[in-house]
Each structure stands twice: as C-alpha cells, then as structure tokens.
C-alpha cells in the first residue's frame, strides 16, 4: 500500500462524505455533530455548550474522522432480536472487532450462562433482578467495578458511590491501562495529577514537545494548534521511535492552505529507542545544565530535591545516556539547544511514555526537564498529558479510583453521614489477577472492553471465565461480549451521551467541565446509564434508615447527582447549578500559572532516577503495540493503516536492516513469540520509519504477546516494551 505524504486532508474528507451517506445523509450527520454535547472520542474537549465541533477556544469547525466514526456507530440501526438466535457465541468469536461493532446498536438486555450456545434477549426486570440477587448474596470485596472513560461524570460518580456503600473499594477505570502513570508521576512532582495548562496556553507557546504519541491519528484536532504554532514560527520537537507521517506533515481540513499544501509539523524529530526516553530526557537536562541554560532562581525558590538531581546529572556519563536512549550526542544537543532558546514551552506526551514499567519515572523526568527552565507555574508553558477517552479524566476526578482522594472521602462521610470502606481496593490488573485466582465472583463494567484491553489476552479470557457473574453496560458489541464469558454474563444496553434524556457533564484534558444537553433516543430499549445504576442500587439497598442515607431513586436525576458532586469533589462547586447557568467551567486548583504548587511545601519536587538498560538481545526485538488511524481502541474500523501505508493488521513492522540479523526474509510469514504467548501467521513487513532494533504491532490483536508486567508505582502495563523473537 502506498503511504500518504501527509496526515489528515482529503482522505479524511472523503471518509466524512462516506459516513454521511451511511447514516442517512449529510443533514442528519451534521445535526448530530452540531448538537450541544461533548465530543465522544478523545479528551481534547470539543463541543458542549458552544455547540458541536467547537473547541475550548471557540474555534469552529473542528472535526476529525474519529468523532464521525463514533457518531456514525451510535447512529446505527438496532440489532434485531432474531440476531441472537441466528448467531451462536462460537460464531460471534469469529467476528472481527469491526464486524461486531457494525452489527448495530444493542437494544435489549442479554444473558448467556455457561453451557448455553446463544445470548438470549431478556427483560430489564430479569436482568436487574438477577444482578441485584447476586450482589446481595456476594461479599462486597468479592466484586469489582471497572469503568471505561466514555460515561458521564454523573454515571461515574453514582456507580462508584453505590459500589462503596455496597462495601468495596475495588473500583477503577481504564486509566489504569492508560494515563495512570501520568497521574501518579505528576502528583509526585507538583501535587496535582492533570494538565497544568489550558488550551489558550498552548495557543501562545513557542515550543511544544510531543513525546511518545501520535496525535496526528489519535488526537487530530491538536494538529490545528500545532499548525498555528508553526505559523507563528514555533518549534515542535517530536520524540518517537517511529517517524509518524502525520507528525512530519499534516493537512488540516479546516484550513485551505494547509489542506492544499500540507503543514510541516515537526521541526526536530528524534528517534529514541523504545524505553529510552528516561535516558534521553536525562541527557537533555544534563546538556541544559552544561550550557548554563537552567533557571537557577526558579530551582532555588520553587523546587525541592534539586541538589541530588544536579549531582546525579553530573555523574551520569554521556556514554551511559547515549547507550540507554539509543540517541546520539548530536540528537541530544539539538533538542537541548532548541529548548534553551524557547521561552514558552509546553511538554506533551501519551502512551509511548506511560506504557512502560518505568512509566511514572518517565513522567517525572519530563516534569524535571520542564522545571529545570521554570516552564511550570507560568502562563503559556507547562505540562500536558494528552488524555485518551473523552471523559476518562472526569470519572477519575469524581471518585472512580480504588482509594478516594482524602478530601472526597472525608466530605462524603461527613456530608452524607455514611462510613466508607477503608481497604486499599484493587487496580484493574489487580482485579483481573484476583479474578483468575477465583477470589472475585462478580465483575461489573460501565462501558469499555475489559477483555480486549488487557495484557495477556489468554489470561484475560481465563480470568473473566472464573467469575460467577459478569455485567457490561454497553452501546455496541465488542470482543469482550464473545470472549471471557463468566458463568453468567449479562449485557445491559445503554444510551450514548447525545441520547440521554437529561443533561450530563464531562471533563476535558484541560480540566474544563463540559455540559452535554443529551437528546432524543435513537432506539427504544437502551436506557440511561444513570437510571440503570440508580435502579440497581435501589434493588440492592432499599431506602430507609436501616439502609443508609440514600434514596437511590432520587439519584435518577442527574441534577441531584451533580449536587452531591458539588459538595464532595473539590473544585467542582460550580457543577451544582450548571444545568441552569449553562456555565461550563475550569476546575480550580489545577492549572498553574504561578509557581505555587499543590504540594505541602508549595514547591515542585524533582526526582532522581537510575536509567534502565535498553532491553533486548541479539535475536530479539523490542516491540510496541499501538493503534492505527482506523481504530478506536479495541474497535477496529478499518484494516488499513493509512498513515503508515500498511494494508493489513496481522503484521510486525521491522526496520529493513534487522531482517538479516533475525534470519527472516521481508514479507515472510512468521510466528512472533514473547514470554507470554505466540502469534503465528504474522507477516514480517519492512518498515523504514521505525528505528532498527524496535518493532511495531497492532493493539488489540497483539495482546496475546503482552506480558502482565506493570509499572510498580502506577500499575500501568508495559504495552510498549515487549521482547519478541520472530521465527
Ligand atoms: N484514532 C484513535 N484515536 C484515539 C484512540 C484510538 O484508539 N484511535 N485511543 C484514545 C486513547 S484511549 C488513547 S490513550 C490515546 C492514545 O494515543 P497515543 O499514545 O498517541 O497512541 P498509541 O498508538 O498507543 O501510540 C503511541 C505512540 O508512541 C510511540 N512509542 C511507542 N513506544 C515508545 C517509547 O518507548 N518512547 C516514545 N517516545 N514513543 C514510543 C509510538 O511510535 C506511537 O507513535 O488516543 C486516543 N485517541
Ligand atoms: N496492547 C495494548 N493494549 C492496550 C493499549 C495499547 O496501547 N496496547 N491501550 C490501553 C488503553 S490506552 C486503553 S484506554 C484501554 C481501552 O480500554 P476500554 O476503554 O476498556 O476499551 P474500548 O475499546 O475503548 O471500549 C469500547 C466499548 O465501549 C462501549 N461504549 C462506547 N460508548 C459508550 C457509552 O457512551 N457508554 C457505555 N456504557 N459504553 C460505551 C462500546 O460498547 C465499545 O465497544 O486499552 C488498553 N489496552
Ligand atoms: Mo487510553
């Protein structure tokens, strides 16, 4: 397949036209896209009260292929009841993720028990009754509650509150497979776990670091900001083992000039080895100090831990840094020089940084480098983890974490006169491992695809099968409905956010709370997430003094839930009246435009690290598992990877220079092996754009190869650094 010369542009526009036809015309799609609801895909924060396709600076039209895909998926017809009779579970297992997704919308509760061959449509009464019965008979700590990041703040808050009052802290969200390392790393550095900047800051920066991410395909609307930065003469420094086409050149559909000629994005592109970022970032810091370009006054007045770090920089040799990063002195010097001459620098990163056993240290190293020149705690500069799911940050903010933040815990207890469990609670991988040991009996998933997103797919399949009951609240079918079925599996069909009968809220990665109006339901059958949760809670914990303070049926009202959120979640006070005021707002205490941080001393903390060795022996490759432009997580829309010029997914992409060493021929069919599993029938595909010694495969197909190695501090699995051999 021919590689395109730039990201975005005409293919994206053609795609839009095709999707419009599929869902029944332009006007229908346009109306859906313009409705006042927060965008459903990434967390960049489009839509909300300013109307669809408007960004947080008010710019319009901001649209990407992903948001159209997600919208078109929700606009599909219903899966007819006859489908469940026609297709057995064995047949569903053979469906590709795309086939599953395009079966249509789930509109009836479904149930399948061990030994049965087909899902059976059941009534809501049977579904909720069975779940409530099982929960009442189960010890709370033998259940777990997993949340994906698509649901509203209201649904997230309500379900975690119910789980805790029911009696467990086994509450977690997909962030544990995503940006958890960012949250932990940032909190350890500045006392707050989210971006320190707003979109406006980015619009004034003169240099942006883009580390370990591919926003051209995963956060396309960020590309508009980068285009503006380039037009202002700013610098974009990309650190990535792969030269990603769209980071070199991108055609922004809403700009005629960019669409016709393409906009150059990266001004410096450094190909680090997989896992080499910690060494590279340390090297850049060392060079900055050698150049005397650090901000001494800032370090002295606003940071702690500076001295030991400076000493360790001095003691770390250049040989160690170059060997452990895979980068040359020239690369490192070039980055340091650009950084030293910039005045307003934003550091952004994604999964290439967090999906490592030293993910938290990677994030701390980014914070260190930013602090070294005083780039945190001032306008137009700072730290910006680019979030994944559209509301993953929001569900985390409102309490979907095993341990509640101290303030939320205390306020919940005092405000509602309740006592909450104090056990540590399990993270996502911890829940899966406990399920496999048969320590857990019930799993409850608010959205997502827990099977498909897990490392070690065979393990995940087996672990979920050990459960006595698995419940999923979903909009469409995914591989998790065909694999990893428990003794009893129940699927509950829910409304998408633009079909909700009531308003809901979401939080963008810039800490901005958005209001979604909801809209008319497209199908009869699916129910609102909040309503389902409130109903279930009422069945398990009937109201009355003996059962605690909540009349759960009152909590069907999203306004009542927002009132509770406003009282217990610091920074969310304004959410209480948001339905009347329509005032979307910035969460207080998270954006740092002054060098006063959220730590006890109000100083930022510098961390000192030892540099990990690059992994891999002579016959091995370091392999990353990543997304293509045509998928959204476990949902694969298109087989081809347009930007990388690859037309199939059963491939391992290897640099041409590596073939001889590995003893395989280009385009040969191979078996890829890791310590965890093997995948036969994979085509060893030459790929110039990747750094030699490294390889690329697609998530989720490659998950059978991903070991359950996770970062000790954040528990984020190392999805990006897997040692493999090819035979
Ligand atoms: N189209 C689309 N958009 C999405 C998603 C999707 O699936 N499809 N998913 C959403 C979600 S939940 C998330 S979290 C984000 C993910 O967004 P990204 O993090 O951009 O997605 P990944 O494909 O995981 O890719 C990571 C990038 O990291 C690089 N990389 C791998 N290993 C290393 C390393 O060791 N060091 C460095 N420096 N780079 C490395 C890879 O080459 C790749 O370019 O996107 C969100 N948006
Ligand atoms: N090997 C490897 N594995 C990875 C990654 C990787 O890079 N490599 N990335 C990891 C990352 S970053 C993430 S975030 C996870 C993703 O993990 P998840 O969030 O668990 O998975 P998704 O595929 O995003 O979930 C998609 C499903 O969500 C449901 N859904 C969509 N909209 C709604 C809604 O409005 N409400 C409800 N209730 N359900 C809805 C649909 O049924 C759809 O099938 O995967 C992780 N796994
Ligand atoms: Mo993610």
* Structure confidence by residue, pLDDT tens digits, 573-586: 999 999 999 999 99
Confidence of residue 669 (pLDDT cuts 50, 70, 90): very high
Categorise residue 318: left if φ over 0, alpha if ψ from -120 to 50, beta otherwise. Answer: alpha
Q: Are residues 447 and 414 in the same domain?
A: yes
Tell me: do 230 and 350 sit in the same domain.
Answer: yes
pTM of the model: 0.95
Nearest to 231 by CA among 213, 258, 199: 258
> Per-residue pLDDT for 631 more than 70?
yes
Q: Does residue 451 contact residue 483 with C-beta atoms inside 8 Å?
A: yes
In a domain, 529, yes or no: yes
* Ligand 1 and 213: CB distance under 6 A: yes
Q: CA 718 to CA 708: how far, in whole Å?
A: 8
d(C-alpha 227, C-alpha 295), whole Å: 29
Query: Is 211 found in the same domain as 171?
Result: no
The sign of the dihedral angle between the CA atoms of 641, 645, 647, 649 is negative
Asked if residue 529 has its Cβ within 6 Å of ligand 1, the reply is: no
538 and 398: one domain? yes
Assess whether the C-beta atom of 631 lies below 6 angstroms from ligand 1: yes
Pocket test for ligand 1, best of 350, 509, 689 (most atoms within 8 A of CB): 350
CA of 35 to the centre of ligand 2 (A): 24
Whether 98 is in a domain gets the answer no
Query: Which residues lie closer than 8 Å to 669 by C-beta, 6 or more apart?
Result: 681, 682, 683, 684
Q: Which residue from 362, 626, 653 has its CB within 8 A of the most atoms of ligand 1, so it is best to mutate? A: 626
* Domain co-membership, 193 together with 128: no
Question: For residue 549, what are the contacts with CB-CB under 8 A and spacing of at least 6?
Answer: 416, 417, 418
What is the predicted pLDDT for the residue at 59? 67
Digit-coded pLDDT (tens) for 580-607: 999 999 998 899 999 999 999 999 999 9
Is 694 among the domain residues? yes
* CA 633 to ligand 3 centroid distance, Å: 8
Per DSSP, 265 falls in state -
97 sits in which H/E element: helix 97-101
| Bridge partners, 263 (sequence order) | 250
pLDDT single digits (tens) 14-59: 777 777 778 777 777 777 777 888 887 777 767 777 777 677 766 6
How far apart CA 691 and CA 679 sit, in angstroms, is: 23
Phi/psi for 717 (5° steps) reads: -65, 150
State the pLDDT at residue 621: 98
Other beta carbons within 10 angstroms of residue 602's beta carbon come to: 13
**Torsion angle defined by CA atoms of residues 44, 48, 51 and 52, in that order, rounded to the nearest 10 degrees:** 50
Considering the chain, what is the average pLDDT of its residues? Answer: 93
Residue 88: inside a domain, yes or no? no
How far away, in angstroms, is 706 Cα from ligand 1 center?
16
Same domain, yes or no: 306 and 437: no
Considering every ligand atom shown, identify the ligand nearest to the alpha carbon of residue 350 and give its number: 1
Residue 566 has phi, psi (to 5 degrees) of -60, -35
Other Cβ atoms less than 10 A from the Cβ of 339: the count is: 26
Beta strand ranges found along 143-262 (DSSP E) = 143-147, 171-173, 207-211, 235-239, 249-251
Cα 362 to ligand 1 centroid, rounded to whole Å: 15
Q: Is the pLDDT of residue 262 over 90?
A: no
Residue 95 within a domain: no
Q: Give percent above pLDDT 90 in the chain.
A: 81
Whether 363 and 430 map to the same domain: the answer is: no
* 55 shares its domain with 125: no
Q: Does residue 214 sit within a domain?
A: yes
Write down the H helix ranges in 653-722.
Answer: 658-662
Which position has the higher pLDDT, 261 or 212?
212
| Closest ligand relative to 389 C-alpha | 1
Best of 616, 627, 640 for a ligand 1 pocket test (most atoms within 8 Å of beta carbon):
627
Strand order in the sheet with 235-239: 268-270, 235-239, 207-211, 345-349, 382-385
Residue 581 lies in a domain: no
The CATH number given to whatever domain includes residue 658 is 2.40.40.20
Q: Which of 110, 219, 356, 474 to mutate to test the pocket of ligand 2 (most atoms within 8 A of CB)?
A: 474
Verify that 355 and 399 share a domain, yes or no.
Answer: no
255 assigned to some structural domain: yes
Query: Residue 329 is encoded by which pair of tokens?
Result: 């002195």
DSSP state of 47: B
How many angstroms is it from 651 CA to the middle of ligand 1? 18
Protein residue with its CA nearest to atom 2 in ligand 1: 218
If asked whether residues 311 and 359 sit together in one domain, one would say yes
- Cα 689 to averaged position of ligand 1 atoms, centre (Å): 16
**E-assigned strands of 252-330?**
263-264, 268-270, 303-304
Q: What's the gap in Å between 140 CA and the centre of ligand 1?
A: 35
Two tokens at 621? 């490759």
Ligand with minimal distance to 37 CA: 2
Distance, CA of 491 to CA of 121 (rounded, Å): 9
350 lines ligand 1 (CB under 6 A): yes
Q: Does 421 lie in the same domain as 549?
A: yes
Examine the domain organization and report whether 299 and 191 are in the same domain: yes
Count of domains observed in the chain: 4
How many angstroms separate the alpha carbon of residue 92 from the centre of ligand 1? 28
Q: Which domain holds residue 212?
A: 180-386+601-605
């Amino acid at each position: 397949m021919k590689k395109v010369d730039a990201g975005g542009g005409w293919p994206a526009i053609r795609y839009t036209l095709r999707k419009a036809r599929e869902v029944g015309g332009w006007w229908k799609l346009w109306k859906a896209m313009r409705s006042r609801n927060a965008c459903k895909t990434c967390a960049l924060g489009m839509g909300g009260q300013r109307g669809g396709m408007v960004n947080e600076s008010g710019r319009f039209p901001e649209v990407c292929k992903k948001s159209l895909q997600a919208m078109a998926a929700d606009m599909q017809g219903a899966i007819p009841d006859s489908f469940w009779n026609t297709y057995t579970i064995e047949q569903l297992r053979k469906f590709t993720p795309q086939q599953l997704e395009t079966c249509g919308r789930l509109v009836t509760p479904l149930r399948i028990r061990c030994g049965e061959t087909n899902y059976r449509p059941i009534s809501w009464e049977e579904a909720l009754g069975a779940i409530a019965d099982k929960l009442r008979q189960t010890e709370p700590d033998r259940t777990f509650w997993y949340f994906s990041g698509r649901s509203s703040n209201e649904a997230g808050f309500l379900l975690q509150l119910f789980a805790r009052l029911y009696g467990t802290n086994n509450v977690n969200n997909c962030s544990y497979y995503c940006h958890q390392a960012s949250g932990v790393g940032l909190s350890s550095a500045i006392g707050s776990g989210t971006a320190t900047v707003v979109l406006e800051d980015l619009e004034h920066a003169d240099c942006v670091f883009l580390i370990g991410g591919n926003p051209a395909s995963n956060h396309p609307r960020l590309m508009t900001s980068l285009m503006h930065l380039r037009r202002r003469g700013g610098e974009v420094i990309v650190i990535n083992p792969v030269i990603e086409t769209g980071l070199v050149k991108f055609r922004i559909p809403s700009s005629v000039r960019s669409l016709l000629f393409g906009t150059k994005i990266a001004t410096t592109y450094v190909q680090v080895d997989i896992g080499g970022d910690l060494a590279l970032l340390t090297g850049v810091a060392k060079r900055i100090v050698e150049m005397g370009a650090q901000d001494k006054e800032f370090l002295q007045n606003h940071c702690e831990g500076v001295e030991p770090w400076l000493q360790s920089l001095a003691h770390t040799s250049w040989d160690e840094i170059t060997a452990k990063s895979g980068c040359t002195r020239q690369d490192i010097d070039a980055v340091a020089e650009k950084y030293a001459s910039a005045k307003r620098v934003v550091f952004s990163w994604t999964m290439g940084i967090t999906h490592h056993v030293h993910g938290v240290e990677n994030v701390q190293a980014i914070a260190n480098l930013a602090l070294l020149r005083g780039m945190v705690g001032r306008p137009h500069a700072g730290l910006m983890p680019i979030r994944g799911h559209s509301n993953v940050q929001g569900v985390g903010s409102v309490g979907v974490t095993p341990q509640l933040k101290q303030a939320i815990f205390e306020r919940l207890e005092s405000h509602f006169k309740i006592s909450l469990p104090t056990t540590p609670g399990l993270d996502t991988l911890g829940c899966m491992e406990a399920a496999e040991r048969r320590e857990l009996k019930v799993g409850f998933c608010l959205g997502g695809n827990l099977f498909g997103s897990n490392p070690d797919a065979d393990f995940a399949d087996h672990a979920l099968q050990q459960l006595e009951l698995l419940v999923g609240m979903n909009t469409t079918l995914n591989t998790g409905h065909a694999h990893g079925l428990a003794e009893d599996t129940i699927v509950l069909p829910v409304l998408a956010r633009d079909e909700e009968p009531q308003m809901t809220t979401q939080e963008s990665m810039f800490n901005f709370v958005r209001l979604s109006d909801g809209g008319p339901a497209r199908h009869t059958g699916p129910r609102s997430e909040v309503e389902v949760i409130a109903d279930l809670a009422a069945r398990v914990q009937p109201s009355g003094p003996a059962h605690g303070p909540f009349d759960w049926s009152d909590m069907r009202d999203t306004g009542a839930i927002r009132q509770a959120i406003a009282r217990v979640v610091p920074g969310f006070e304004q959410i209480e009246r948001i339905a009347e005021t329509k005032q979307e707002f910035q969460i207080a205490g998270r954006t740092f435009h002054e060098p006063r941080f959220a730590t006890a001393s109000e100083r930022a903390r510098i961390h000192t690290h030892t540099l990990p060795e690059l992994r891999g022996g002579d016959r091995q490759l370091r392999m990353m598992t990543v997304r293509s432009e045509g998928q959204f997580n476990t949902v694969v829309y298109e087989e081809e990877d347009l930007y990388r010029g690859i037309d199939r997914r059963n491939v391992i992409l290897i640099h041409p220079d590596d073939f001889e060493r590995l003893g395989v021929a280009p385009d040969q069919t191979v078996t890829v092996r890791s310590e965890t599993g093997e995948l036969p029938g994979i085509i060893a595909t030459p790929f110039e754009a990747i750094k030699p010694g490294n390889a690329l495969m697609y998530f989720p197909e490659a998950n059978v190869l991903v070991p359950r190695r996770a970062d000790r501090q954040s528990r984020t699995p190392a999805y990006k650094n897997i040692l493999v051999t090819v035979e």
